[in-house]
Amino acid sequence: QAQLVESGGGSVQAGGSLRLSCAGSGYMYNSYCMGWFRQGPGKEREGVATIDPTGSTNYADSVKGRFTVSTDNAKTTLYLQMNSLEPEDTATYYCAADPSRVRYCRFRVADFAYWGRGTQVIVSS
């Protein structure tokens, strides 16, 4: 059973930065599309960023230029570096794995079979 565990959430003022981490089984980062999603209060879950085993990344328009998704060299941890945070970024952030594809990751929630429990990010103005 694949397990994903997020950490690094917290409270920050607008303009600040946070780095989220997702610890998981190493084989996932070598074989699956990995993604970060978020769900704000009263909102649907939405894709934020994805990365495939080749390192190719994809970002939602709302976070381009501010967020960076990456893995460590050992490919055991997934990161989301979030800079210039805005109150609209307030949400619970989830790490997820899509075992059905290794390239051309998509933001479809239904494609991602494995999910962490989430870590909360609060950005105050």
Task: Say what the alpha-carbon torsion angle 108, 110, 112, 115 is, to the nearest 10 degrees.
Answer: 120
CA 44 to chain centre: 15
pLDDT score for 1: 66
Per-residue pLDDT of the chain (125 residues; tens, 9 = 90+): 678 999 999 999 999 999 999 998 778 888 899 999 999 999 999 999 999 999 999 999 999 999 999 998 777 899 999 999 999 999 999 999 999 988 999 999 999 999 999 999 999 99
pLDDT score for 9: 97
pLDDT score for 19: 98
Q: What 3-state class would DSSP assign to 28?
A: helix
SS3 for 36-86, per residue? EEEECCCCCCEEEEEECCCCCEEECCCCCCCEEEEECCCCCEEEEEECCCC
